[in-house]
Structure 1
Amino acid sequence: MIKLRKIFILSIALLFASVLFADMVVPVSALPQSARSFIQNTFPNAQIFKVEGDDGKFKAKLNNGIEIKFLPNGEWESIDSDYTPIPPTVLPNAVQNTVKNSYPQALITDVEKEFGNYKIKLNNMTELFISSSGQLIGQKMDD
């Protein structure tokens, strides 16, 4: 009986902790202005339908299937797409050129900034690792 009570209390505590630390829906106006401008300029035909905030970071979900994670300063950290290609213009010119020269017909479906480098997934199941200066560091087939 005591063991069951401990399990029950532990379960309630874990449930409370998960709710307490979960992303919270916030108004679009909570996004930094630079993040809202980025969305408007990069995806002009899309509407923001949900914004979540957690520990100063934000996640914006757009009605075209794009999800963008932003740092507290409004700089994007990652962009993920279900079915809408991500414009190469989100990348520095050197990185854009490397992607275009490596796979000219492929579309970008996911971009992530990692320690000054970029991890880019393409619609041909290829994952590229490119430095901010445009050097191709590595590539692999995405599984």
Structure 2
Amino acid sequence: MTKKLFALLITLTIISTSSAFADWIVPASSLPENAKNFIHQIYPDAQIWKAERDDGKFEVKLSNGSKIDFLYNGEWDSIDGKYNTIPFSALPQTAANTIKNTYPNAVIIEIEKEWGNYKVKLNNFMELFITSEGQLMGQKFDD
């Protein structure tokens, strides 16, 4: 009986300890190569200020205030400009052209990938839903 109780106590301790330290700060060098390349391509003047790893995903904060979430394989999942401009080059050219044609005076402040499509927030409070081929699937005012 005491062996079972001891084993249960050890298991509970391991579970509570692992969830308490879910986010680990890691060196920028531990990011996947394509994630580092993406950052340097999209934000060539920004420095990586902080990189965290959580269950194989990475959250990167840049010196310009932007935050990028990467999947374990180094593909970006979301970009939050924190109300700073996200370059159109972060998107496929067809999706970027759709945004430029629909709202020529707006800039991107947040992008999220959703099932191969993109949810894009603009500085004019519009939220666009665009396929990777550039088709505008919908839009709404996001106040």
Q: Same fold (TM over 0.5)?
A: yes
Residue number in structure 1 paired with 2:125: 125
Q: Shift of residue 83 of structure 1?
A: 3.3
1-structure distance, mates of 2:44, 2:109: 18
| Structure 1 stretches lacking a partner, 5+ long | 1-12
Show CA shifts across 1:112-133 (max 9, x none): 1100100000000000000111
Q: Number of matched residues?
A: 131
CA distance in 1, matches of 2:30, 2:115: 26
Shift of 1:18: 4.3
Percent sequence identity over matched residues?
56
4+ runs of 1 displaced by more than 2 Å? Answer: 13-18
* Aligned counterpart, 2:32: 32
Listed one character per residue, the Cα deviations across residues 69-95 of structure 1 (whole Å, up to 9, x for unaligned) are: 011111111100113200001111110
Normalising by structure 1, report the TM-score: 0.85
Alpha-carbon distance between aligned partners in 2 of 1:110 and 1:89, rounded to the nearest angstrom: 13
2:63 aligns with 63
Q: Tell me, which stretches of 5 or more residues in structure 2 are unaligned?
A: 1-12
Aligned partners of 1:51, 1:66: CA distance in 2, in Å? Answer: 12
- C-alpha displacement at 1:24, in angstroms? 1.2
Residue by residue over 1:31-51, the C-alpha shift from the partner in whole angstroms, topping out at 9 and shown as x without a partner, is 011111111111011010000
Measured in 2, the distance between the counterparts of 1:80 and 1:102 equals 21
Q: CA deviation at 1:19?
A: 1.2
- 3-state SS of paired residue (2:133): coil
Amino acid across the alignment from 1:73: N
Measured on the aligned residues, the alpha-carbon RMSD in Å equals 1.7
The Cα shift of 1:17 comes to: 6.0
